Structure 1
Amino acid sequence: MPRNVTLKYIPHDSTRRDRFKKRLKGLMKKADELAILCDGKTCVLVYEEGKAAPEVFPSHAEAVGILNQFKSLPELGLCKEAMNQESFITKRIEKLQDQIDKTRRECEDSETRYLLHKIMHGDPSVLVGLNIEQLIKVGYKVDVLLKSITERMAKIHSHGPPAT
């Protein structure tokens, strides 16, 4: 089970440098593992606080080659391969919004079916507290169910009586 790490600025200089080095080493290791597992090329550039030159993995020359190869991809390839954080979050929000809408529709349908069930079992008092929107939904659901029943009955009658 992964540990949750609280992300906050570490005020003590030596502690901050030690943790930076430890996490940088882990990041480099993960980049190497990713390259091996996916049979691809990876490079990492990390700018350390107070240093002009970045830490580069696997080496400066290899990183330049990988970045040049990436930049030489056609525009469509670049767009296909790369996604910035804003577009990722936007797509994720759209996907979650679609899930919310679907769940809301399913919930409303279940509520309407429940109301119809209570009405059919002799409890018309459930209609008393409903607003006009809820009554319209109940009416619509009744129409849909009646249409479905009518279609099934027509299908059964079109096939004729079962042969015995």
Structure 2
Amino acid sequence: MPCKVTLQYIPHDSTRRDRFKKRLKGLMKKADELAILCDAKTCVLVYEEGKAAPEVFPSHAEAMDILNQFKSLPELEPCKEAMNQESFITKRIEKLHDQVDKTRHECEDSEIRYLLYKIMHGDPSVLVGLNIEQLTKVGYKVGVLLKSITERMAKIHSQAPPPASCVTTRNIDMGSPGVVSGTTSVAGVLT
């Protein structure tokens, strides 16, 4: 894994100039590669500390042509998806708030399920320290679970096959069991 470099101002002048020249050379090389690989026109203007004229790539004349061509492009209609930084950050914050709320609800649901689990396994003392809001949430969860169970049972009963009908030509009376010499016997009487 590449090591992250801490970005900060380099206080030593000669080190800073050397680093600037090295990075500038790399930037110009990347701009040239981008122009070749993508068949695009690229230019780079870099203003060095203490110098009035910028470093220009590929040349001053070519850079001026590219910039003039860019300035002469017609104003594009704003894209539906385009947004400024403020609206982007606002949307991102809203999404994060939604995620936090969702996670909070999942956490509360898990805590309530755990309380119900403990209660069902014989520890009703867990309800003693709860406030009214927590008790209300537990009650609501019990209601939701009971409704879910009722709906499942109704669905199962509606999907169950009807009992098989018995086709008999005679009535059978099973009678009551009788005791004969210490053993139980069932007498069937056919009528």
Aligned length: 161
Q: Aligned letter for 1:9?
A: Y
What's 2:17 paired with?
17
Deviations 1:6-51 (A, max 9, x none): 2222122221122223333444455566677777666554433233
- Does the aligned pair in 1 maintain the 2:31–2:44 contact within 8 Å? yes
Provide the rounded CA distance (Å) in 2 between the counterparts of 1:37 and 1:97: 42
Counterparts in 2 of 1:89 and 1:42: CA distance versus 1, 3 Å: farther
Distance 1:141 1:37 in 2: 60
Which residue does the alignment assign to 1:123?
A: 123
RCO greater where, 1 or 2, for CA within 8 Å and sep 6 or more? 1
2:141 corresponding residue in structure 1: 141
**Alignment-derived partner of residue 64 in structure 1:** 67
Q: Which amino acid aligns with 2:103?
A: T
Identify if the C-alpha distance between structure 1 residues 9 and 115 changes in structure 2 by more than 3 Å, giving closer, same or farther: same
Please say which structure displays the higher CA radius of gyration. 2
Write the deviation string for residues 120-144 of structure 1: whole angstroms up to 9, x where unpaired: 1111100011122211111111111
What is the letter of the counterpart of residue 94 of structure 1? E
More helix by share: 1
Q: How does 1:32-71 map to 2 (within 5 A)?
A: 44-57=44-57, 60-61=63-64, 63-64=66-67, 67-68=70-71
Question: What whole-Å deviation, never above 9, does each CA across 1:92-134 have from its counterpart, x for those lacking one?
Answer: 3333332222211111111111111111111110001112221
8 A Cα contact 1:34 1:42, kept in partner: yes
SS at structure 2 position matched to 1:76: coil
Question: Partner amino acid for 2:11?
Answer: P
Residues in 1 aligned to 2:152 and 2:33: alpha-carbon distance in whole angstroms: 59
In structure 1, list runs of 5 or more residues that go unmatched: none
Q: Which runs of 5+ in 2 are unaligned?
A: 165-191
- Conservation of the 8 A alpha-carbon contact between 1:127 and 1:135: yes
Write 1 or 2 for the structure with the bigger share of strand.
2
Kept in 2, the 8 Å contact 1:41–1:66? The answer is: no
3-state SS in 2 of match to 1:93: helix
How far off is 1:147 after superposition? 1.0
Distance in structure 1 (CA, Å) of the matches to 2:128 and 2:162: 45
Normalising by the residue count of structure 2, what TM-score does the alignment of the two structures yield? 0.65
- What's the counterpart of residue 96 of structure 1? 96
Are residues 114 and 51 of structure 1, via their aligned partners in 2, closer, same or farther at CA, if it must alter by over 3 Å? same
SS at match of 2:122: coil
Q: What do you get for the CA RMSD once the two structures are aligned?
A: 3.3
Identity of aligned residues (%): 78
String of CA shifts for 1:59-107, please: whole Å, max 9, x gaps: 51464167437x6342323x745x5544444333333332222211111
